[in-house]
Amino acid sequence: MFTKAKSSMAAFATLLAVSSASVPANAEDTIKVGILHSLSGTMAISETTLKDAMLMLIDEQNKKGGLLGKQLEAVVVDPASDWPLFAEKARELISADQVSAVFGCWTSVSRKSVLPVFKELNSLLFYPVQYEGEESERNVFYTGAAPNQQAIPAVDYLMNEEGVERWVLAGTDYVYPRTTNKILEAYLKAKGVAEEDIMINYTPFGHSDWQTIVSDIKAFGSAGKKTAVVSTINGDANVPFYKELGNQGIKAEDIPVVAFSVGEEELAGLDTGPLVGHLAAWNYFQSADTEANAEFIKTWKAYIGDEKRVTNDPMEAHYIGFNMWVKAVEKAGTTDPDAVIDAIVGVSVPNLTGGYSAMMPNHHITKPVLIGEIQADGQFETVWETSGLVVGDAWSDYLPDSKDLISDWRKPMNCGNFNTASGKCLGSTPAN
Amino acid sequence: MIFGHFLKQGLASRYVQVAVLILLAVAVMVPVLNLAVPPGNPFHLPDHWVPLLGKYLCYAMLALALDLVWGFCGILSLGHAAFFALGGYAMGMYLMRQIGSRGVYGNPVLPDFMVFLNYKELPWFWYGFDNFWFAALMVVAVPSLLAFVFGWLAFRSRVAGVYLSIITQAMTYALLLAFFRNDMGFGGNNGLTDFKEIIGFDVSAGSTRLGLFVATALFLIASLVIISSVVASKYGKILVAVRDAEPRTRFIGYRPENVKLFAFVLSAAIAGIAGALYVPQVGIINPGEFAPANSIEVVVWTAVGGRGTLVGPILGAILVNAGKSWFTGVLPEFWLFALGGLFIFVTLFLPKGILGLIGQVKASARARREKRAAEQQVLAE
Amino acid sequence: MTHEIVHRPYPRGRNRNSPRTRAVAIEGRCGEGRRVQALMAAFCAFLVFLFLMFANAAHADEASVRAIISKFADAEGFSQVEKVIDELAATGDPLAVRTLNALNDGKLQVKRGGTVYIEENGKFLDPITGEPVDGADTSGLDKVKIKNSLRRTISAALSGMTLMAKDPAIRSQAASTIFDSSDASQLEALEKALAAETVPSIREQMEEAKASIQLFNSNDPAEVSTALGTIKARGNRAALALLSKYAASADGELKEQADAAISSVEETLSMWEAGQNVWYGISLGSVLFLAAIGLAITFGVMGVINMAHGEMVMLGAYTTFVVQELIRTSAPGLFEYSLLIALPMAFLVAGGVGLLMERSIIRFLYGRPLETLLATWGVSLILQQAVRTIFGPTNREVGNPDWMSGAFTLGEMSLTWNRVWIVCFSLAMFVALQFVLKKTYFGLQMRAVTQNRRMASSMAIRTPWVDAMTFALGSGIAGLAGVALSQIDNVSPNLGQSYIIDSFMVVVFGGVGNLWGTLIGAFTLGIANKFLEPYAGAVLGKILVLVFIILFIQRRPRGLFAQKGRAVEA
Amino acid sequence: MNDVMEKTPATAAGSQHPAQREHKAKFLLYLSGVSVAFDGFKAINNLSLFLEPGEMRAIIGPNGAGKTTMMDIITGKTRPDEGEVFFDGDIDLTKHDEADIANMGIGRKFQKPTVFETLSVEDNILLALAGQRRALPALFYRSNAADMAKIGEILDTVRLSDRRQDLAANLSHGQKQWLEIGMLLAQKPKLLLVDEPVAGMTDSETEETAKLLREIAREQSVVVVEHDMHFVRELGVKVTCLHEGSVLAEGSLDHVSSNQKVIDVYLGR
């Protein structure tokens, strides 16, 4: 019995030895960048593209001579759309692979899952997707849109340009739509929209039978007031939703739908003919007419080897985030997370829509907001944009519990949720 | 005395003895290799391995629990991850309450997600979860209760075989949908996360991790011994009897529904404990744990290791998950091919799993030995 | 008269100093004449009619329309484009129709300095005649951008111009646009068209459109009251919208009348709504049935728990995608038939994969149903990942042919064509399958094998062959379902996963081994789901249905259509 | 008041009638006017059967005569649509389920031998031994000499002593039949229902089995369903012939086999 136990222990030890030996000996020669996007499971549909975009950006940077005189090395892992696995893989990237920064996550839950890991191991996460806000962490940089960089301008546009008076807030039942709709509801009411002129509807993930809801929307829209749908419907559910809209003959002229989660990538699975004129609010469209964008699209198509592949907003967010990180590392002269966190605030890099985006002290960035209409070719045409850049707001001004909160990760405040009313930094004590 | 005999039965099996010894050794060696061996030494166990190994052991416990009902009672539950997740949620709720005013909104009572979803007060079902022992009770009670109600209904109406499998799947699917709803008050899709401390210890501290790991190993050992004892007792024989010929047991006067129900509830309770140990180690519990695919994966671990062998499922769970960790890091695109291939391979070529294979090899060796001995005897005569 | 127009409750955000105001004023005068004296109206209409005939014949006004159109070339921004549209609308000249349509479709190309072309299939056409322009200067052309509010302006402008179009469908469309918009500026054109209209149904529509304009622009209570009556008689959603809009700003007796009209229309609509719900339920049921029917064969008849069933559906959908891609690249003319071509292909592909599965895996596992569950789950993972590797993880576009697009109305119910066809398709499949099982030799063999394998094989039926073919049939049918589902859902590697649980629920609920059970089960669940949805919401509705199935199985462990007796208990 | 008095004897199944109750008490098993239908097919049609304590009865009849269904009714597996089923005088079997009925002392052997294949012969008998039937106490059961001795006795009776530690799956077909009978004996039933005990047995096994059943019948009542007329003759007991769910003839084997109707529907073919 004892010999058996001993031999298995030896086997275990060998296993450990093998695993630790697999860390390459030349680890010092490259700077490692972690890519944490699902390549399988339900989210692969959106995230695989971002993995490819990151590989392209790293490739391009290496062609330009790398960073701090070293080559960049991408470490790709697959968290398989499994949220605990996101945390496990993040830990592996930081502890075992010793990456200097991680670019990744799509869903809010994946971000929430890895958050404690980044805090504990003090590393950097660049999160490229529009999200619900209500968060500001020292170790995370939010390069996607906060609600005030997407939802509120879109509603303003509909209200002012289209004269919308009646609102359907339709979303998938998860935290991003819930929070966004709550903010919008508060905002609309502040603008004098009556309770009965707002309809809120939630559907499960991957909802595919939209007949009832679309006809409810139709009925809601026949009250004699101009009606619009604000859609926070997520990923997969959009295709059947839009197909049903098209078939039931809801035209953009009558009841426009403005979506916050539908980009070029999602439209690629759809015949957009019947959808022309429906709207999306983003900070980037592939149709943006700038040199930087043309260059980016060209590089992307060449990299992926497919002329039909499209670009989208989260890709631009990675583009901005990655360049910010590069610039901050150059500024700090090291990849040490603390130094980069100090250096990155205020860093400004060109975005793809012809301006510059800057990292703000609350770890959100400045972005222009564009409203685009769906075209028959699956692209968006910008019909409106903010005159200047909008600063990402971590804590919404329209929610009672967060309107007093601000975030500033510079010294001396160094706090992600500072309550201006009580003058205290709430929650966990800030890291030093 | 009576328990002593009960447990002695369980430890009679050679496999169980070996497994208990190995698990004890692991429970000792992991902290030693992690703390006492300096980093850089090839025998050092890196910090990030500790929660990973802990997770494997939790899965092993879940597979063990499934083996009790599937291996010994023929109930193929495709909803066992539901019990695991419910145990996890009970623990998660305790951990959420422990955050207290350290949440981002600084609300001393309400967890963050409730604050931004406009809850004014704590829902009633969150009461009591600030107390560890209450939560610990719920970890066992909630999955057991669900298993009891579900099993009582299903076994009494003699729903069996494939039908039972499919309605267990419906059960976990319904729970999945229900927990996804934000109106349920369990945090919706985001689930429960950002835990701070457990019974006063910082969850992200290395020592807490080691403590949780050792606790998991000990709970796994305890579950193994208990289940092994249950299976070796006369009750275990009735269980097998029900599996082999349910009408026969009924006509000699047993009530198969009660026999099954006890095993099902015990199994659910162990699954719940496994879930509760899992949550502080991985740092999140969300409705994804209820996904029917998760439950099916548990079945695969059990099948790979060897159904009805108790030790096999533990081995299977650890091997498959270690494989998953390795594949998703090294060859991410091929993970599903490998997993799918494994399913097919095991069902076609290893119907009794790895442990069954070992058993077969041994049996044939013994047969050969006996044959040779017999021949020699003949010769000697 | 003009006074009223300024006080329209909803000026629709248009600049009142725009040329539109002038047009409105002119119409107003004409309208006033109509009310003062009916004869005058006829005369007025007649005059304009003559004028238009003349204009059409002689192209006398072409130059002025062309001059306005050329202004598009230098219009900066949406507001200036809108002004040009308004100017065109003011002419009321049908010559502008082609240009406005092109503008609406994003086909109007311009260059600074007054160059305007319509671009169609790479050719550049004259904006008025539609003749190709020889030697068109195509360098530096820009598309005229439009947006939703402009599209509305365009359709309003077009409605006035097309009220007298040759095609009755276009006239009807124009009338209903005016009905929805209550655009007073169209009154004059409407009156003229009304006088000339010969088709009774369109006449009626035009009367309703006129009522809609009167409702918001008339000062005469009697006229408004008549208008209310006309609109109430129309009784649909659009009418309800007008009535609610009117009621919101009305008072006194007219408001009462409007409110009464609203509740009467609502009552009618709510009756239709119940019918609509049944239809939604039937259509959801047909989707469930399609997803489940293949499983009813592989699981229900053969007892194989085929977890890869969903992937067979997915393969069918991807086959449709491939067929459409081939058609797009090599024979675009066949697109309308793409689904018909895809059907046999999908059957063969999914059936082939099913055959392969049966021969290589499942045949070794007969009698071990729970093991087949594991092995087929493995197959499903491999197929999913294979599709992801080959076609990429993103959604693929499967287009709807024209006959699968749009909707028609039945009373106040709106039935979308794709759903109608899917319901028909699922019923046809049921009938065909019943025929195969009950009336063909293969079906006889199949039933013989499933009922008594030993007996069947001793009667010289090649049972392995029958097994393989039955499984292939079930898989092939799943593939057919994939073709249909590609029309309403995502075509992605996850497609199959989203249907597998529902399929099992349907088969188990309906009763294993019984196609009728599957049919009734699917439609029952579909309708139950749709009736629960408005009250409980989509999520809770689905949960309730699942709980119902779990409890139902307790009551009837063998489903809705269980065979009774001792044979099944053995 | 009057009403009730008048109606009672007519409607209620005679349990109130003192004479009938006494009549019932005489029998160990009392089936009267029993009918059951599956999907409209009458499997049992107005069947009456009375079995005295200590009696052994053979039931014969063609396929589909309702033999197995009758056993299902007695053991609580199938509920009759109408009729009375009483055991031991006053126990209404239609109100109890299989486990209850088994514990009252009715044992049943299936047509196809059903034993617990993956348990040893000894464990098979152990589980059947009369006594505690609840699940939880079984967790803490300890094997004891008394039980072991009983098992030994029974295994001797069914001639399986030398296979005591073998898995039941490894027994021959005939041995499985015997093991199943052994399990019935271990239950100590008052009544044994035995369905085709010699199907598929060799001649010598058949003879042994007949001997075994006769031994058993000394202490217990037995109902044997069998096709093998040779075997029935060997048993030498009262015979009931069923046809289409009701009793066609009853009496000694010679009496029954000379009945013209029996010859027509059963023996003649």
Helix (H, G, I), strand (E, B) or coil at A408: strand
Contact A219, C511 (CB under 8 A): no
Of the pLDDT bands very low, low, confident and very high (cuts 50, 70, 90), residue B71 is very high
Q: How many other CB atoms are found less than 10 A from the CB of residue C226?
A: 15
**Entry field: residues in chain C:** 570
3-state helix, strand, coil in chain A (%, to 5): 40, 20, 40
Which residues of chain B make contact with A109, given a CB cutoff of 8 A? 189-191, 193, 284, 286, 288
Stated as kind and residue range, the H or E segment containing B357 is: helix B353-380
The confidence score (pLDDT) of residue C179 equals 85
C-alpha distance from C543 to closest chain B C-alpha (Å): 5
Contact D172, D89 (CB under 8 A): no
- Which of C508, D128, D107, D170 has its CA nearest to residue B166? C508
What is each CA distance from C484 to A58, B220, C398, D153, in whole angstroms? 42, 49, 11, 69
CA angle in degrees (0–180, nearest 5) for A191-A197-A198: 85
Span B304-355, pLDDT tens digits: 899 889 999 999 999 999 988 888 777 777 888 888 998 899 888 888 888 8
CA pair distance C105, C87, nearest whole angstrom:
19
Which residues of chain A make contact with B51, given a CB cutoff of 8 A? 88, 91
C-alpha distance from B233 to closest chain C C-alpha (Å): 27
| Partners of A366 in beta bridges | A391
Domain with residue D214: its CATH number is 3.40.50.300
Structure tokens at C247: 């009621």
| Partners of A357 in beta bridges | A349
Helix (H, G, I), strand (E, B) or coil at C8: coil
CA pair distance B311, C12, nearest whole angstrom:
75
CA pair distance C233, B334, nearest whole angstrom:
64
C-alpha distance from B76 to closest chain C C-alpha (Å): 7
The confidence score (pLDDT) of residue C479 equals 94
Q: What is the β-pairing status of strands D238-243 and D246-251?
A: antiparallel
The confidence score (pLDDT) of residue C52 equals 53
Which structural domain range is residue D228 located in? 27-116+189-267
Mean pLDDT of A77-101: 91
CA pair distance B154, C511, nearest whole angstrom:
17
Stated as kind and residue range, the H or E segment containing D35 is: strand D29-38
The confidence score (pLDDT) of residue C565 equals 40
Specify the residue for token string 């960073």. Answer: A67
Residue of chain B whose Cα is closest to the Cα of C553: B159
pLDDT above 80 (res B379): no
Residue A21 contacts B, CB cutoff 8 Å: yes
Span A271-309, pLDDT tens digits: 888 888 899 999 999 999 899 999 999 999 999 988 888
Query: At residue A135, what are phi and psi to the nearest 5 degrees?
Result: -160, 140
Q: Given an 8 Å threshold on Cβ–Cβ distance, is A223 in contact with C244?
A: yes
Mean pLDDT of D69-94: 86
The region of weakest confidence among A35-39, D101-105, D110-114 is D110-114
Helix (H, G, I), strand (E, B) or coil at A26: coil
The confidence score (pLDDT) of residue C28 equals 38
- Which of A347, A424, A427, A361 has its CA nearest to residue A393? A361
This prediction's pTM? 0.86
CB burial of B258-273 (b: ≥16 within 10 Å; e: otherwise) equals bbbbbbbbbbbbbbbb
Q: Is residue D202 a part of any domain in this protein? A: yes
| Partners of D38 in beta bridges | D41
- Torsion of Cα atoms, B174 then B179 then B180 then B185, to 10°: 150
Which structural domain range is residue A209 located in? 151-259
Sign of CA dihedral D84, D85, D87, D93: negative
Helix (H, G, I), strand (E, B) or coil at D200: coil
Stated as kind and residue range, the H or E segment containing D47 is: strand D41-51
Contact A407, A396 (CB under 8 A): no
Q: Is residue D155 a part of any domain in this protein? A: no
Task: Quote the longest CA-to-CA distance of chain C.
Answer: 97
- Which of B281, B216, B275 has its CA nearest to residue B48? B281
Specify the residue for token string 């409605």. Answer: C159
Q: Is residue A358 a part of any domain in this protein? A: no
The confidence score (pLDDT) of residue C355 equals 95
Q: Is residue A187 a part of any domain in this protein? A: yes
CA pair distance D32, D50, nearest whole angstrom:
8
Task: Quote the longest CA-to-CA distance of chain D.
Answer: 70
Which residues of chain D make contact with B250, given a CB cutoff of 8 A? 98-99, 102
Residue D75 contacts C, CB cutoff 8 Å: no
Contact C481, C292 (CB under 8 A): no
- Candidate from C303, C371, C497 with C-beta closest to B347: C371
Specify the residue for token string 């119910």. Answer: C413
Sign of CA dihedral D33, D36, D42, D44: negative
Structure tokens at B246: 């349910």
pLDDT above 80 (res D54): yes
What is the identity of the amino acid at B150? F
Of the pLDDT bands very low, low, confident and very high (cuts 50, 70, 90), residue D209 is confident
Interface of A with C in 215-274 (CB under 8 A): 215-216, 218-219, 221-225, 236, 239-240, 243-244, 246-249, 252-254, 256, 265-266, 268-271, 274
Q: Given an 8 Å threshold on Cβ–Cβ distance, is D39 in contact with C566?
A: no
> Up-side HSE of residue B317: CA atoms within 13 Å toward CB?
29
Q: State percent of chain D over pLDDT 70.
A: 90
- Which residues of B make CB contacts under 8 Å with D? 2-3, 5-6, 230, 233-235, 237-238, 240-241, 243-245, 247-255, 258-259, 261-262
Q: Given an 8 Å threshold on Cβ–Cβ distance, is C566 in contact with D69?
A: yes
Q: Is residue B51 a part of any domain in this protein? A: yes
- Candidate from D99, D116, D136 with C-beta closest to B241: D116
Structure tokens at C171: 């006239």
What is the identity of the amino acid at C428? A
Q: Is residue D164 a part of any domain in this protein? A: no
Which structural domain range is residue B247 located in? 2-350
Q: How many other CB atoms are found less than 10 A from the CB of residue C264?
A: 15
pLDDT above 50 (res D12): no
Of the pLDDT bands very low, low, confident and very high (cuts 50, 70, 90), residue B235 is very high
CA pair distance C320, A101, nearest whole angstrom:
43
Residue of chain B whose Cα is closest to the Cα of A5: B22
Q: What is the pLDDT along chain C (570 residues), one digit of tens a residue?
A: 334 333 333 333 333 333 333 333 334 344 444 444 555 555 555 555 555 554 444 444 778 888 888 888 888 888 888 888 888 888 877 788 888 888 888 888 888 888 888 888 778 888 888 888 877 777 778 888 888 888 888 888 888 788 878 888 888 888 888 888 888 888 888 888 888 888 888 888 888 888 888 888 888 888 888 888 888 888 888 888 888 888 888 888 888 888 888 888 888 888 888 888 899 999 999 999 998 999 988 887 787 888 899 999 999 999 999 999 999 888 888 888 899 999 999 999 999 999 999 999 988 888 777 788 888 999 999 999 899 889 887 788 888 888 888 888 887 788 888 889 999 999 999 999 999 988 899 888 888 887 777 788 888 788 888 889 999 999 999 999 999 999 888 888 888 888 888 898 898 888 877 889 999 999 999 999 988 888 888 788 889 999 999 899 888 887 887 654 433 333
pLDDT above 90 (res A338): yes
The confidence score (pLDDT) of residue D26 equals 78
A233: left (phi over 0), alpha (psi -120 to 50) or beta: beta
Terminal CA-CA length for chain D: 57
**Which candidate in A81, A253, A289 is best for mutational testing of the C interface (most C CBs within 10 A)?**
A253
Contact A292, A357 (CB under 8 A): no
CA pair distance C423, C527, nearest whole angstrom:
13
- Give the number of domains in chain A: 1
Structure tokens at D155: 């295994």
Residue of chain A whose Cα is closest to the Cα of B184: A173
C-alpha A307: how far from chain center:
25
What is each CA distance from D172 to B188, D200, D201, D202, in whole angstroms? 59, 11, 10, 11
The confidence score (pLDDT) of residue C401 equals 86
C-alpha C549: how far from chain center:
32
- Candidate from B180, B194, B333 with C-beta closest to A173: B180
- Which of B321, B337, A85, B329 has its CA nearest to residue C384? B337
Q: Is residue A426 a part of any domain in this protein? A: no
The confidence score (pLDDT) of residue C46 equals 59
The confidence score (pLDDT) of residue A170 equals 93
**Entry field: residues in chain A:** 432
Contact C380, C310 (CB under 8 A): yes
Contact D94, D85 (CB under 8 A): yes
C-alpha distance from A400 to closest chain B C-alpha (Å): 9
Q: Is residue D165 a part of any domain in this protein? A: no
The confidence score (pLDDT) of residue C566 equals 39
Of the pLDDT bands very low, low, confident and very high (cuts 50, 70, 90), residue A7 is very low
**Which candidate in D141, D170, D184, D185 is best for mutational testing of the B interface (most B CBs within 10 A)?**
D141
Query: Average pLDDT, whole number, for chain A?
Result: 87
Helix (H, G, I), strand (E, B) or coil at A121: helix
C-alpha distance from B256 to closest chain A C-alpha (Å): 38
- Candidate from C148, C247, C490 with C-beta closest to A253: C148
Residue of chain C whose Cα is closest to the Cα of D111: C570
Domain with residue B322: its CATH number is 1.10.3470
Q: How many other CB atoms are found less than 10 A from the CB of residue A3?
A: 7
What is the identity of the amino acid at C243? L
Which residues of chain D make contact with B3, given a CB cutoff of 8 A? 140
Which residues of chain C make contact with B156, given a CB cutoff of 8 A? 554
| Residue spans of beta strands (DSSP E) within chain B | 192-193, 197-198, 201-202, 284-285
Specify the residue for token string 């349920």. Answer: B184
CA pair distance A40, A48, nearest whole angstrom:
8
- Give the number of domains in chain B: 1
Q: Is residue A169 a part of any domain in this protein? A: yes
Stated as kind and residue range, the H or E segment containing C273 is: helix C252-295
**Which candidate in B22, B48, B331 is best for mutational testing of the A interface (most A CBs within 10 A)?**
B48
The confidence score (pLDDT) of residue C42 equals 56
Structure tokens at A35: 């890519």
Q: Is residue A175 a part of any domain in this protein? A: yes
Contact D41, D181 (CB under 8 A): no
Stated as kind and residue range, the H or E segment containing A357 is: strand A356-358
Domain with residue A162: its CATH number is 3.40.50.2300
Between B and D, how many CB-CB pairs are < 8 A?
86
- Give the single-character DSSP code of B34: I
Q: Given an 8 Å threshold on Cβ–Cβ distance, is B252 in contact with D117?
A: no
Specify the residue for token string 């929307």. Answer: A217
Of the pLDDT bands very low, low, confident and very high (cuts 50, 70, 90), residue A87 is very high
Contact C8, C216 (CB under 8 A): yes
- Give the number of domains in chain D: 1
Between B and C, how many CB-CB pairs are < 8 A?
119
Q: Is residue B294 a part of any domain in this protein? A: yes
Structure tokens at C561: 């259509």
Residue A25 contacts B, CB cutoff 8 Å: no
- Which of D201, D250, D260, D205 has its CA nearest to residue D60? D250
Which residues of chain B make contact with D140, given a CB cutoff of 8 A? 2-3, 5-6, 233
- Which of B280, B266, B3 has its CA nearest to residue B140? B266
3-state helix, strand, coil in chain D (%, to 5): 45, 25, 35
DSSP assignments along B189-214, one per residue: GG-EE---EETTEETTSHHHHHHHHH
Of the pLDDT bands very low, low, confident and very high (cuts 50, 70, 90), residue B171 is very high
